[in-house]
Structure formats: structure tokens, C-alpha cells
Amino acid sequence: EPEVTQTPSHQVTQMGQEVILRCVPISNHLYFYWYRQILGQKVEFLVSFYNNEISEKSEIFDDQFSVERPDGSNFTLKIRSTKLEDSAMYFCASREAGGLRPTDTQYFGPGTRLTVL
Amino acid sequence: AQKVTQAQTEISVVEKEDVTLDCVYETRDTTYYLFWYKQPPSGELVFLIRRNSFDEQNEISGRYSWNFQKSTSSFNFTITASQVVDSAVYFCALSTPYNNNDMRFGAGTRLTVKP
């Protein structure tokens, strides 16, 4: 069964460093998402991406964050200058298409745990 | 604006007990989707169910059942004859096509099933 994959599973970085989190969505999916979950808290929406541009972003997604689909398979989240409070689990998700069909469920990757020291 | 409330922060039951996890949602949209996800200690999000706003039929899948009631804006989840492996954090979530289907999650309910 196709699945969303994310690399690395765990990333440790120093405060102020740039990190890139990578995701490979399911191949025929068109909508892509990043979510964040600070330890012990709820999952929060960061950004959605469709047709090579951001569709929507939350207030969390400030200028430190950017997303890109550099080729036909990868979907990346970049944090330019990490802060301690960026430490969290980051989930990528993808969805096939719009509308009300059963295929419109978002499928989540296993997550990347980012630790900022 | 969309909002999901899971008032139960933690629930602890003994194996074989039935347990219901509550979820109340808010949205002004007439078309929306509701979800339940399970997050085991390993951290991944496991999709359990998706419900469309126009389909209020309750669903049963093995020991799991869901009660969707638009009149009370609730989408509750019941585990019958709970097992230790059911121990996890359970998240209820809401999305609508009007905001690109990005999902709004509740705070989660941590379920502990003791042997």
C-alpha cells in the first residue's frame, strides 16, 4: 500500500541553524501539508501546498518557514534559523484530490522529530 | 472558524471495559469532514475513520464504533471491550473543502488501558 515517507526520522540541530525536512508524498496525490506537534500537545496545521504554491498557511508559518516541491516527488519544509521552540514532531501529509470522495482523506507520514539545542 | 474540543484529557480504564471518547466540533461550513486518528507511543498518526457532514450514519468496525450527531455537533468514539494495545492518544479532527481541507485537531485524549 502506498504511503507517505519522511526523512530523517530524527534531526538534532543547534539553535540558529537551518534545517530541511523531507517528505515523499503518495505518488498520485496533488495536495500536500505540513503539521507540527510540540511534545505532549495537539497537532497544528502549518501550511498547505497545491499546484506549486502555498494554498493556505497558519499564523505559525512565519518568514522562518518555507516549503518547496523541488522535483516531482519530494516536498520539503525549511526552517531558516531554528529556535528552541521549533523543537517538535513535524508531520507531512498528502491528499489525492478535492471534492467529497473517500480518496480525499489526508495520509500522514511517520513524522520527523526535530530537536533544537 | 473551525474548532475541535476534546474535553477529556486522560482516561484510564481496565481491560475489557468499554470507553467513549468525546469530540465536539464547531464550524460554520455546511460541508465538512470529521476524523479520528490514533497516536501510539511510537508517535505516528494512524487514520481510523473519516465521516462526511452529510452522512450521519453511525459506523462500527470491530470493537470500534462512532456516533455522529449533527444536532449536538459531536462525533464520539467508543471502544468496546478495551485492550492494552488500545492505549494511545486519540485525536479528533475537522476539515472543510472551503479552506483547502487543512485539518484542525483537538487536543487529544490519552487513553490508558490497564491489564
Residue of A nearest to B54 (CA): A100
CA–CA gap between residue B48 and residue A108 (Å, rounded)? 12
Do A100 and B52 make contact, defined as CB atoms within 8 angstroms? yes
Q: Which of B84, B8, B38, B12 has its CA nearest to residue A43? A: B38
Q: What value does the mean pLDDT take over residues A22-35? A: 93
Q: Which residues are CB-contacts of B31 (< 8 A; sequence separation ≥ 6)?
A: A100, B52, B53, B54, B96, B97, B98
Query: B99 — phi, psi (to 5°)?
Result: -125, 45
- pLDDT tens-place string over residues B80-89: 999 999 999 9
Number of alpha helices (DSSP H) and beta strands (DSSP E) in chain B: 0, 12
Do A42 and B106 make contact, defined as CB atoms within 8 angstroms? yes
Q: Which residues are CB-contacts of A90 (< 8 A; sequence separation ≥ 6)?
A: A6, A21, A34, A35, A36, A37, A46, A77, A111, A112, A113, A114
More confident residue, A106 or B76: B76
Chain A interface residues (partner B, CB cutoff 8 A): 31, 33, 35, 41-45, 48, 50, 55-56, 58, 89, 91, 93, 95, 98-100, 102, 104-108, 110-111, 113
The reported pLDDT for the residue numbered A100 is: 52
CA of A15 to nearest chain B CA: how many angstroms apart? 24
pLDDT-based confidence at residue A102 (cuts at 50, 70, 90):
very low
pLDDT (tens place) for every residue of chain B, 115 residues total: 789 999 999 999 999 999 999 999 999 988 899 999 999 998 999 989 988 898 888 888 899 999 999 999 999 999 999 999 999 999 999 988 776 678 899 999 999 999 9
Q: List the single best residue of B33, B45, B99 to mutate versus A (max A Cβ within 10 A).
A: B45
Distances (CA, A) of B72 to A22, A32, B1, B24, B56: 40, 32, 17, 8, 12
- pLDDT tens-place string over residues A29-55: 889 999 999 998 999 999 999 889 999
Q: Which of B21, B40, B42, B35 has its CA nearest to residue B105? A: B35
Per-residue pLDDT at A98 exceeds 60 = no
- Rg of chain A over Cα atoms, rounded to whole angstroms, equals 14
CA–CA gap between residue A81 and residue B1 (Å, rounded)? 31
Q: For chains A and B, what is the number of CB pairs under 8 angstroms?
A: 59
List, as ranges, residues 66-105 from B with C-beta within 8 Å of A: 91, 93, 95, 97, 99-105
Residues of B in contact with A41 (CB under 8 A): 107
Q: Which residue of B47, B50, B97 is in closest CB contact with A98?
A: B97
CA–CA gap between residue B39 and residue B105 (Å, rounded)? 12
Do B44 and A43 make contact, defined as CB atoms within 8 angstroms? no
- Rg of chain B over Cα atoms, rounded to whole angstroms, equals 14
CA–CA gap between residue A90 and residue B16 (Å, rounded)? 34
DSSP bridge pairs for A21: A77
